[in-house]
Structure 1
C-alpha cells in the first residue's frame, strides 16, 4: 500500500513538472529593472523593448539602422504593443526568431473612394514563406503581391472568378479558385505592397461589391461565402486585419563578423549563434539560441539557465536516482544497488546467493507477468501495423482510381508506350523526394532528379492535382504526349497515379536551359550565331511537328527559353507541357484562366481569351529575340522603355537601329549580319498583333531553313512591310511593366495611340 502511495505522489509530481516546464517562464525577459516585460498581456522579450535603453539598436555606421523599439499604446484597454507606425504585435518568438503581426487587408470596392493598398516596410524583417500564404477573394478579382527580394523587384499574384454565390461551395481553410485564390510567397521579401483589383468594377457580379487581397498566417486563414458579400462600409468601419508571420534577426553581420567586434555580439553565455541564410532572411545577420540543457533568453547576460532535468522529464528509473549536472543530468543507483539506473537498464540489488535463491519465486512470477505484457504489446503492434498497411493500400488504390489509373490501364493494355510506376519506385529514385534533388519549380509543379532501375537518370515532376471532372482528358493527354516521337521533345517515360497528385517521369536532360546559357556571360560569349540559328530551327521544327504533323495536334501554350533544354551536343528539346492543350477536332479553343508567362504571352489573348497555334508563334518570336539579343523577355531593372523586349525590338526596327540591341558577340561576320537581319524580319512577322497575320510554325521553320542556307532568298516573306502594317492601323501591342509591377499596353505606332487593356495576372515562376 505504501508503494502505491509513493508511486501516486511521483505521478502527480511528474505531471506538474511537465506543465511547469512546458510553459514559458516570464523571468529574465528584460535587460534592466526599469524595462517593461509585457504590454497588454503580450510578452516583450529583449532584444525587443518599450522604454529607451530597453531594446537593441544597431550602432554600426556601415549597416542599415535597425531598431526593435515597441510602443505600448495605452489608449486601448487592454494596451496594445505597436511596431513602427501602427502595426500591432500579436506574439514574439525568441526560439524561432519570428514575430506575428497584424497587417491591414487591401481592398477595392465599387466606389471611387473604395480602395486601400497595404504596405509592409519593416526594414530587415522579412515575411515567412513557410508560415504564410497570399490570398485574394472576390468574383472578378486579381491581386498583386510586390516587393524587393535580394535587391531586385519581385511580383506574384493570382485571380479568381465566380458567377453565383452558390458556385462557392467551400467554407473553411481551403482556396479552390472559385471566389478565393492563393499564391505561395518566397523567402526574403521586404518592402511589400498588396493591391486588389476588379476586372469589371463589380458591375457584373452584384452580390460581390468588393475585392480583397492579403498575406495571412497558414493557421489563421478561414474563407466563407460571407466574405464575398461584404460592403465598403465593412472595410471602412471594421478596418479588417490579418495575422502575418515575419522572420527577424540581429543586425546585418553573420556570427563570425559580429564576433570580430567582441562584446557587440548579443549571444551571451551558454548560447550558440545561428547564421541567417538568404533562404531564412532577406539580409545577412544572426540570431541566438540557448544550448541544449539550457533555457531562457539568450540575448541577456545569464539569460540561459541550466534546466534541472530531475524536476522534469528524464529517463531515470526513479526520481531519486536522478542527479542534475550543469547542462545535463545522469542517473545514479543508490547504495546497495549497481547498474545504470535508467528506464531501460535498471538498478540491480547487491544481495547474497542465499537471498537470491529465497526470492526466486517472486522473480519468476514477475518475469512471467512481464513476458505476458510483452507478448500482448507485440500482438498489438502487429495488429496496428497491419491496419496501417491496409489503410495505406486502400488510400493508394483510391488515388489511383481518382487520377484515372483504371482508364489509363485499359488504354495502355498490350501497348509498350508508357510505364506506370509505383509510389515506392519513385520514392527510392528520389531518396523520398529529398529537397537536394529538386532541379526546378514552376506554376505547374516541382521537378526532381531521380535514378530508376538500370541507373537511368530521369526527371520526376510532381504535378498539380487533377480536376476530377477532367480525369479522362488528363489521361488522354498523357497518352498522346507519351507517343510523341521527336528528338526535339523531352520524352515522357511514364507516370505514377498512386499519390494524391500525379507524378510524371521524363527523360533527364543534363545541360541546362536555353535561358541559362543566354544569361550566363561566360556561356553566352561562346554561344555562336550558327549554334543559335540551329537551336531556333530545332524549336521551330518541333512546334511545327506538334501543330501539323501528329494526328492529334498540340498547342504548347507556354513557349519560352526556360522551357527549352539543351543536351550535351546542344540539341534543343522542348519541355514542360504542363500548360499544353490537345486541339479538338473542330480546333476550337476556350481558355478561362491565364496561361503562359509575361513577356511571351500573345497580346491577342487579352482581348479574345483564346490561345491558338498562332499564340505559340508569338511566343516563338520572343525566343528569337532572346537568341538575337541575349536579353530577358521582361527586365524589371531596366528603364521603362526597355523593359519589354518585344516592344523595345519593334521600336528599334522602326528606327532602323536593329544592331543597337543585337548581341555584339554574333555581329563579326558580314554573312552572319545578313542572316541576323532576316531572322529579325521573321521575328517581326511572328510578333504581329493579329494571329491571322503571323506565319504558321511550318512557314517559320521553312523560313529559318532558307536563312541558314542563305544561298537563296527565304521562301516565305511577309505580305506587307512593317511600315505598311503601321499605316494600315494594324499595330503591334507590347506589354510593359512599370515600377509598381503594373501591366500596361503600348503600341509601336504614334504616342497618341496608347490604349489600356485589362490587367492580367500570371505567376512568375522563379521570380525572374
Structure 2
C-alpha cells in the first residue's frame, strides 16, 4: 500500500497535490492556464472488494475557488449511466457500456468513447460537485466509478486494478477574485493603465502587469516599467539602447558617409526604390498566399463534393449558391459588429445584402470538425431541397474560409416567443392569428416528416425557433441539431439534447428520439399559444414550473378556463378552445405511442380553422403548400450532427435556456 502526505488546505478541507503560480493565459478552444492547483478528485465508487472511502462530493461555495472546466466528467463501468448533480438547468452525464456494439468502436481500448468508460465536458464556473451512478441493466453487482479529472487515460488503464486501488486521481481548481453579479470588472480593479483584466465570466477576474512591466497589479502603481537597457546585457548589440515605457528601442549610429548632396540624393532614391519594390513583392505574395489558402479550404471543406452533388441534383436543388468569402465580407461590411443579428454557443449571425440586393442572414460558425465535413455537405444538399413557405430556406454557403459559412433567407420580424411575451399593438396576437400560426408550424413539421425518402426530425421545436416574416407568416428555423433518420427507426444518443421545458420525457429517460418527440415539443408551443405562459417559470410552484405539467394539472382539475390567455379569452369559442386543449393534451402524453403524428395534428388544426373561416377564408389566410419529393443521392449520410444553428434577433428568455450540448458517440 502506498502512503503519501500532501499539504492540507483547511478552507476547503482537502489535500493539495500540486499548484501553479503562473499568470500566463493560453486560450485553446475554451481552455486556459491560470493561477490554480490540483486536489484529489472526489470519486463515487461501488462494487470494489477493498471498500474505498474517498470523498464523493465537493462544495466550494463561499470560497474563491472554482472547478476548472479543463476537467472532464468520467465514468468507468459496464452498462452504467453517470450524471453530475448541481449543474442547474444543464444536464451533464454519459453512459458506459460493455456490449458488442460498443466493443468494436475504433480504438475502443485506447480511448474513453463509451466502451467500459465514457467522458464529457463540464460547464465553467462550478463550485459544487456531486454525481450519481446507476445501472442500465439488472444483474450482478459490478464495479463502477465516477469522478472529475483533466487526465487522459486509456480504457485499459482506467479499468486496471492499479488505478482503482492505488492511483490518486486529481482534478484542477482555479481561484478568482469575486465582483458583484452581472458587473464586468473595470480597470479600477487593477492597477490603472499598466494592467490588463482577464475575465472568464461576469463574476470573477484576475490581473497581471502588461508586457514590459513587473510588480503587483492589484495595487495602485504596483506595476513598474522594466528598464531592459540595464537588465538585459547587450540587448542592442553595438547600437544605442533607448528605454521607453513598457519596452525599448535600438537606434543605429550612422557614420558620416554622405560627403555631398548628390551622393545623398542617389542613396535616398535607391532606398526608396528598394522600399517600393519590397512592398510590391510582399503584396503580391500576400495575395497569392491568400488565394492558395482559399483553394485549400474550399477543397478541404468539401467544395468539390458539393459541386458534384449540386450538378447531379441540378433539377431538385433550390437555387443554392456557392459564394466567395469576398462576397460575404462585402455583404456584411467585413462582418461589422453593427450588423450582428444574434449570437449563440455555435456562432454569430450577421445581416447582409448580396450584390443583387437580396437581404440575407449570414451564419459565421465557430468550429466544425474535419471528420464531419462530408456529412455537412450532405446536410446542405438536403436542406436546400426543402421547399416550404413555412421553413426558413438556405440560400447558399461559403467554403473558402476555415469554418464554412451558411447563408439563410432573412426573417425581419421577431420570434413567436417575443410576440407572445412582449405583444405589439401593430400586430395583436388574436385567437385567429394564433390558430393560423399553429396550423402553419404543424404543416411545416409534417412536411419535414414526409417530404424526403427519410423523415427529418427537428429535435429542438420551441417558440424561439419559430420566426415571423414581414407578412407575419410562421417560419420554422434552427436545424442545428436536426437529424434525418430512416423510417420506423429511432435515433439513440448518449447525450440528451434540446431545451428545458420542451424535451420529451420519454426521450429524456431512454435517449431514443422519434418523430413523436417533436410532437411533444409542439404540444408545449400549442399551450404557449393557448395560455400565453412561459415554458418554464419560477413564479409557478415547484411541481408545475414546467408549462406542460401546469397545463395538465389544470385539465385534470377542470380549471382550463383559468389559465387561458386573458388577451384572447373574450373572443374564444369554448368548443374550439376545448378541442385545441385536448389536442395539446394528446401531444403531451408520456407514452409516445398515444401521441398523434404531426400529420394528424395538422389535419385537426386545419379542420378547426376551416370550421370557423370556411374554405375560402382558409385559402386566403393559410395558402396550400406545394410539397416536393426530395431526391437523395445514395452516397449521402443521414446521421449527421450539424453544429450549425440559426441564431435569431430576439430577446430570449432565461427561463428557457438550452441544455449543455455535447458531441454524440
TM-score, length of structure 1 as denominator length? 0.63
* TM superposition shift of 1:664: 3.3
Residue number among 633, 641, 645 corresponding to 2:547 in the alignment: 645
Matched with 1:100 is: 36
Contact 1:566-1:572 at 8 Å conserved across structures: yes
Residue number among 55, 58, 61 corresponding to 1:119 in the alignment: 58
* 1:705 matched to 2:606: yes
- Give the match's secondary structure for 2:148: strand
**Structure 2: runs of 5 or more not aligned:** 26-32, 616-657
2: CA distance, partners of 1:467 / 1:321 = 51
Matched with 2:624 is: none
* TM superposition shift of 1:384: 9.8
Matched with 2:144 is: 210
Seen in structure 2, the aligned counterparts of structure 1 residues 293 and 490 have a Cα distance that, compared at 3 Å, is same
Contact 1:168-1:225 at 8 Å conserved across structures: no
* 1:295 matched to 2:214: yes
Matched with 1:85 is: 13
Matched with 1:226 is: 156
Contact 1:196-1:211 at 8 Å conserved across structures: no
Matched with 1:564 is: 466
Contact 1:566-1:573 at 8 Å conserved across structures: yes
Once the two structures are superposed, residues 501-554 of structure 1 have per-residue CA deviations (whole angstroms, 9 ceiling, x without a partner) of: 654322122333223444448899964443332321221121222234666543
Q: What value does the CA root-mean-square deviation take over the aligned residues?
A: 5.2
Matched with 2:361 is: 458
- Give the match's secondary structure for 1:136: strand
- Give the match's secondary structure for 1:155: coil
* 1:169 matched to 2:107: yes
* TM superposition shift of 1:690: 3.4
* TM superposition shift of 1:684: 0.8
Once the two structures are superposed, residues 132-174 of structure 1 have per-residue CA deviations (whole angstroms, 9 ceiling, x without a partner) of: 36443446555545557xxxx44241424454556352799x9
* TM superposition shift of 1:111: 2.4
* TM superposition shift of 1:694: 2.5
1: CA distance, partners of 2:277 / 2:222 = 48
Seen in structure 2, the aligned counterparts of structure 1 residues 430 and 169 have a Cα distance that, compared at 3 Å, is farther
* TM superposition shift of 1:397: 1.6
Residue number among 649, 659, 679 corresponding to 2:561 in the alignment: 659
* 1:446 matched to 2:372: no
Contact 2:396-2:406 at 8 Å conserved across structures: yes
* 1:242 matched to 2:176: no
Seen in structure 2, the aligned counterparts of structure 1 residues 666 and 314 have a Cα distance that, compared at 3 Å, is farther
The higher-RCO structure (CA 8 Å, 6+ apart) is 2
1: CA distance, partners of 2:399 / 2:353 = 17
Contact 2:448-2:455 at 8 Å conserved across structures: yes
2: CA distance, partners of 1:407 / 1:650 = 51
2: CA distance, partners of 1:123 / 1:317 = 51
Matched with 1:411 is: 312
- Give the match's secondary structure for 1:167: coil
Matched with 1:683 is: 584
Contact 1:215-1:242 at 8 Å conserved across structures: yes
Seen in structure 2, the aligned counterparts of structure 1 residues 105 and 673 have a Cα distance that, compared at 3 Å, is farther
* TM superposition shift of 1:648: 2.7
Contact 1:518-1:630 at 8 Å conserved across structures: yes
* 1:159 matched to 2:94: yes
Matched with 1:185 is: 123
Once the two structures are superposed, residues 628-679 of structure 1 have per-residue CA deviations (whole angstroms, 9 ceiling, x without a partner) of: 233343446754311332223212211111234333333244x355533332
1: CA distance, partners of 2:294 / 2:185 = 48
Once the two structures are superposed, residues 323-367 of structure 1 have per-residue CA deviations (whole angstroms, 9 ceiling, x without a partner) of: 446x46776xxxxxxxxxx45xx444457848x99xx89x999x9
* 1:763 matched to 2:664: no
Seen in structure 2, the aligned counterparts of structure 1 residues 258 and 707 have a Cα distance that, compared at 3 Å, is same
Contact 1:423-1:499 at 8 Å conserved across structures: yes
Moved more, 461-470 or 551-560: 461-470
* 1:612 matched to 2:514: yes
Moved more, 652-661 or 601-610: 601-610
1: CA distance, partners of 2:475 / 2:353 = 21
Seen in structure 2, the aligned counterparts of structure 1 residues 644 and 222 have a Cα distance that, compared at 3 Å, is same
Contact 1:463-1:502 at 8 Å conserved across structures: no
- Give the match's secondary structure for 1:678: helix
Seen in structure 2, the aligned counterparts of structure 1 residues 409 and 350 have a Cα distance that, compared at 3 Å, is same
- Give the match's secondary structure for 2:201: coil
* TM superposition shift of 1:565: 1.7
2: CA distance, partners of 1:348 / 1:466 = 54
Matched with 1:735 is: none
Seen in structure 2, the aligned counterparts of structure 1 residues 239 and 274 have a Cα distance that, compared at 3 Å, is same
Contact 1:296-1:304 at 8 Å conserved across structures: yes
* TM superposition shift of 1:494: 2.1
2: CA distance, partners of 1:298 / 1:157 = 37
Contact 1:525-1:665 at 8 Å conserved across structures: no
Residue number among 222, 229, 235 corresponding to 1:310 in the alignment: 229
1: CA distance, partners of 2:492 / 2:202 = 38
Seen in structure 2, the aligned counterparts of structure 1 residues 534 and 605 have a Cα distance that, compared at 3 Å, is same
TM-score, length of structure 2 as denominator length? 0.71
Matched with 2:595 is: 694
Contact 1:171-1:222 at 8 Å conserved across structures: no
* TM superposition shift of 1:497: 4.5
- Give the match's secondary structure for 2:503: coil
1: CA distance, partners of 2:421 / 2:127 = 27
- Give the match's secondary structure for 2:492: coil
Seen in structure 2, the aligned counterparts of structure 1 residues 483 and 91 have a Cα distance that, compared at 3 Å, is same
* 1:281 matched to 2:215: no
1: CA distance, partners of 2:311 / 2:198 = 52
Contact 1:142-1:199 at 8 Å conserved across structures: yes
Residue number among 476, 489, 494 corresponding to 1:588 in the alignment: 489
1: CA distance, partners of 2:114 / 2:414 = 33
2: CA distance, partners of 1:202 / 1:661 = 43
Spell out the pairing of 1:156-555 with structure 2 (5 A cutoff). 156-161=91-96, 163=99, 167=105, 169=107, 179-183=117-121, 185-186=123-124, 189-200=125-136, 209-214=143-148, 216=150, 221-230=151-160, 234-235=163-164, 237-249=166-178, 280-282=201-203, 289-290=208-209, 294-300=213-219, 303-311=222-230, 321-324=240-243, 327=245, 342-343=250-251, 346-349=252-255, 353=259, 390=292, 393-394=295-296, 396-400=298-302, 404-405=305-306, 407-413=308-314, 417-423=319-325, 425-426=327-328, 437=340, 439-441=342-344, 445-451=346-352, 453-454=354-355, 455=357, 456-460=359-363, 462=365, 465=368, 468=371, 471=374, 475-497=377-399, 502-520=404-422, 527-548=429-450, 553-555=455-457
Matched with 1:725 is: none
2: CA distance, partners of 1:610 / 1:486 = 28
Once the two structures are superposed, residues 454-509 of structure 1 have per-residue CA deviations (whole angstroms, 9 ceiling, x without a partner) of: 2532242638747859946x655433321222111000112344566654322122
